[in-house]
């Protein structure tokens, strides 16, 4: 077997048998497959597509190109994945809430991608928090605490790491088959029994239309279930930021306010609860989604989720008193500026992707690989769609390192909001369930 024959078969529409997928994934991981061959493979998949069975085969082959974790725990091993958005910090609420309900959550998360924020970057705004855990330490923390949110190690799905970088420079990022295999190979390598997916749709998502979001959700759900992991997806709204903050330390602050009951963002709460209800059903810890939602709400309201989060932070190197003293422990920006509305009216529409780019340009994301993140910068007090606003009243607040960067961000954020005279219809938080 060789790369040329596998690529030719894909090019000619003859598919990707499981043994070919295994050979190619192993070659990606070992370096036997060249960059040129990997690019040709990705383009052939993009243009010709894969059958449902071939998609499962490629996902499993990429999963098995590295370490696959195994667990021996008294409860089910569960995780959640989001396709990315702005102000989406549900993972930080959901992981400890699931753990408080009897699940074990080895949440292997990513960094910011393009205009969207990354869970790993958010947690690294907590002083001392370590995301680079080896397998033994991850096993220990999950067993002791119930959850650990960490970055993927180099041993997890190395074939995907190689192919992902090549897709980025060969115009093949948009392939749903390759997106599916990329997401699931890493998640399934964590040894999951159940997985809930949050597929975003709207101006701040990678999938802008319901048609594209539905296609991705169906591909992810069918492939994960075909690979033996009980999976369902919610298609949730990203036509506006999910929470009132966007930026690493700012989002952690909002999460802590929610966990401790100091201030609750209802949209963030509702999506977290809905995802948690689905996850508990998939894990056989609830009979219905409604029962699961009740359990997640109780874990959040009682403070049990906050207690688990605090133990996770301490176990991963963060402050032992983080839950009690989070306002003092999180770093803050040097400059804060309001974004005044230029007219009175209602928030009619938000270019959410533009808000994400504003955070990146403040230093809250990466313009180039290797850029260092400034955890303090970002946006807060973001008004939602439908909110009334007076002229000169703030639409949002910019947190910046310098006055010049703050002024540029103020202009970008103001341009991202469209106001109207009459109250618009507010978009639903959850559009569909798939699976």
User: What residue ranges do the domains of the chain occupy?
Assistant: 3-49, 78-325, 335-420
Asked if 225 contacts 282 with a C-beta cutoff of 8 angstroms, the reply is no
What percentage of the chain has pLDDT greater than the value 90? 89
pLDDT digits (tens, 9 = 90+) for 229-248: 999 999 999 999 999 999 99
Catalytic residue among 22, 80, 200, 329: 80
Asked if 335 contacts 402 with a C-beta cutoff of 8 angstroms, the reply is yes
What is the chain's Cα-based Rg? 21
Catalytic residue among 22, 55, 81, 329: 81
- State the pLDDT at residue 369: 63
Kindly indicate the confidence band of residue 276, based on its pLDDT and cuts at 50, 70 and 90.
Answer: very high
Helix, strand, coil percentages (3-state) for the chain, rounded to 5, are: 50, 15, 35
Per the listing, tokens 């910068």 go with 377
The domain 335-420 having CATH identifier 3.90.1170.30: the answer here is yes
pLDDT digits (tens, 9 = 90+) for 28-52: 999 999 999 999 999 999 999 999 9
Asked if 248 contacts 125 with a C-beta cutoff of 8 angstroms, the reply is yes
Catalytic residue among 187, 230, 337, 357: 187
For the segment 418-434, the average pLDDT, to the nearest whole number, is 95
Catalytic residue among 22, 122, 139, 167: 167
- State the pLDDT at residue 115: 81
> CA 413 from chain center: how many Å?
23
Write out the two tokens for 225. 């279930």
> Which of 2-6, 69-73, 168-172, 413-417 is the least confident region?
168-172
- State the pLDDT at residue 220: 98
The rounded distance, in Å, linking the Cα atoms of 140 and 74 is: 14
> CA 316 from chain center: how many Å?
20
The reply to whether 208 belongs to the active site is no
Report the CATH fold assignment for 78-325: Pyrimidine Nucleoside Phosphorylase; Chain A, domain 2 (3.40.1030)
The reply to whether 187 belongs to the active site is yes
Residues 6+ apart with CB under 8 A from 208: 201, 202
The reply to whether 79 belongs to the active site is yes
Burial class of residue 243, CB neighbours in 10 A (0-12, 13-18, 19+): buried
pLDDT digits (tens, 9 = 90+) for 17-27: 999 999 999 99
Sheet holding 394-400, edge to edge: 335-340, 394-400, 378-380
The reply to whether 65 belongs to the active site is no
The reply to whether 80 belongs to the active site is yes
pLDDT digits (tens, 9 = 90+) for 99-135: 999 999 999 887 766 787 789 999 999 999 999 988 8
**What would the DSSP string read from start to end of 121-185?**
HHHTTSTT------HHHHHHHHHHHSEEEEEPPTTS-HHHHHHHHHHHHTT-TT-HHHHHHHHHH
The reply to whether 140 belongs to the active site is no
- State the pLDDT at residue 59: 98
Q: What is the mean pLDDT of the chain?
A: 95
pLDDT digits (tens, 9 = 90+) for 196-241: 999 999 999 989 999 999 999 999 999 999 999 999 999 999 999 9
The rounded distance, in Å, linking the Cα atoms of 162 and 235 is: 29
pLDDT digits (tens, 9 = 90+) for 361-408: 999 987 776 778 899 999 999 999 999 999 999 999 999 999 999 999
Catalytic residue among 90, 91, 170, 182: 182
The reply to whether 219 belongs to the active site is no
Catalytic residue among 82, 116, 180, 203: 82
**What would the DSSP string read from start to end of 263-314?**
---HHHHHHHHHHHHHHHHHTTS-SSHHHHHHHHHHHHHHSHHHHHHHHHHH
Catalytic residue among 20, 59, 64, 79: 79
Write out the two tokens for 22. 């295994």
pLDDT digits (tens, 9 = 90+) for 244-275: 999 999 999 999 999 999 999 999 999 999 99
For the segment 291-310, the average pLDDT, to the nearest whole number, is 98
Asked if 236 contacts 271 with a C-beta cutoff of 8 angstroms, the reply is yes
- State the pLDDT at residue 366: 79
The reply to whether 391 belongs to the active site is no
Exposure string for 325-347, b = 16+ CB within 10 A, e = fewer: ebeebbeebebebebebeeebbb
For the segment 307-324, the average pLDDT, to the nearest whole number, is 98
- State the pLDDT at residue 57: 97
The rounded distance, in Å, linking the Cα atoms of 62 and 28 is: 9
Catalytic residue among 119, 172, 244, 272: 119
Using alpha carbons, list the distances in angstroms from residue 217 to 110, 236, 268, 433. 19, 11, 21, 9
The reply to whether 288 belongs to the active site is no
Q: Which DSSP category does 197 fall into?
A: E
Catalytic residue among 55, 139, 186, 431: 186
């Amino acid at each position: 077997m060789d790369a040329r024959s596998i690529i030719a078969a894909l090019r000619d529409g003859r598919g990707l048998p499981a043994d070919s997928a295994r050979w190619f994934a192993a070659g990606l991981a070992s370096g036997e497959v060249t960059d040129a061959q990997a690019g040709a493979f990705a383009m052939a998949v993009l243009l010709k597509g894969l059958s449902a069975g071939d998609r499962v085969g490629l996902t499993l082959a990429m999963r098995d190109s590295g370490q696959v974790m195994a667990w021996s725990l008294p409860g089910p091993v569960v995780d959640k994945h989001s396709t990315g958005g702005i102000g989406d910090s549900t993972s930080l609420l959901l992981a400890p809430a699931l753990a408080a309900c009897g699940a074990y959550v080895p949440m292997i998360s990513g960094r910011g991608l393009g205009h969207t924020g990354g869970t790993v970057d958010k947690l690294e705004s907590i002083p001392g928090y370590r995301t680079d855990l080896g397998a033994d330490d991850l096993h220990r923390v999950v067993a002791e605490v119930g959850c650990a949110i960490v970055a993927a190690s180099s041993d997890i799905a190395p074939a995907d790491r190689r192919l992902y970088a090549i897709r980025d420079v060969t115009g093949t990022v948009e392939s749903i088959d390759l997106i599916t295999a990329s997401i699931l190979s890493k998640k399934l390598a964590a040894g999951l029994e159940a997985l809930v997916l949050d597929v975003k749709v709207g101006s701040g998502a990678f999938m802008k239309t319901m048609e594209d979001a539905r296609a991705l959700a169906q591909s992810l759900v069918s492939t994960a279930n075909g690979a033996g992991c009980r999976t369902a997806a919610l298609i949730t709204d990203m036509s506006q930021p999910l929470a009132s903050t966007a930026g690493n330390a700012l989002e952690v602050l909002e999460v802590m306010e929610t966990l401790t009951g100091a201030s609750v963002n209802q949209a963030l709460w509702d999506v977290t609860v809905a995802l948690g209800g689905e996850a508990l059903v998939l894990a056989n810890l609830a009979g219905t989604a409604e029962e699961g939602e009740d359990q997640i709400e109780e874990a959040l309201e009682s403070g049990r989720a906050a207690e688990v989060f605090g133990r996770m932070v301490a176990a991963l190197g963060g402050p032992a008193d983080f839950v009690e003293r989070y306002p003092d422990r999180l770093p803050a920006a040097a400059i804060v500026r309001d974004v005044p509305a230029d007219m009175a009216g209602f928030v009619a529409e938000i270019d959410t992707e533009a808000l994400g780019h504003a955070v990146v340009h403040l230093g809250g994301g990466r313009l180039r690989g290797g850029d260092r993140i400034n955890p303090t910068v970002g946006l807060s007090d973001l008004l939602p769609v439908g909110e009334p606003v007076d002229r000169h009243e703030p639409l949002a607040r910019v947190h910046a390192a310098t006055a010049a960067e703050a002024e540029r961000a103020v202009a970008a954020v103001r341009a991202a909001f469209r106001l109207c005279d009459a109250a618009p219809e507010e978009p639903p938080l959850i559009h569909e369930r798939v699976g």
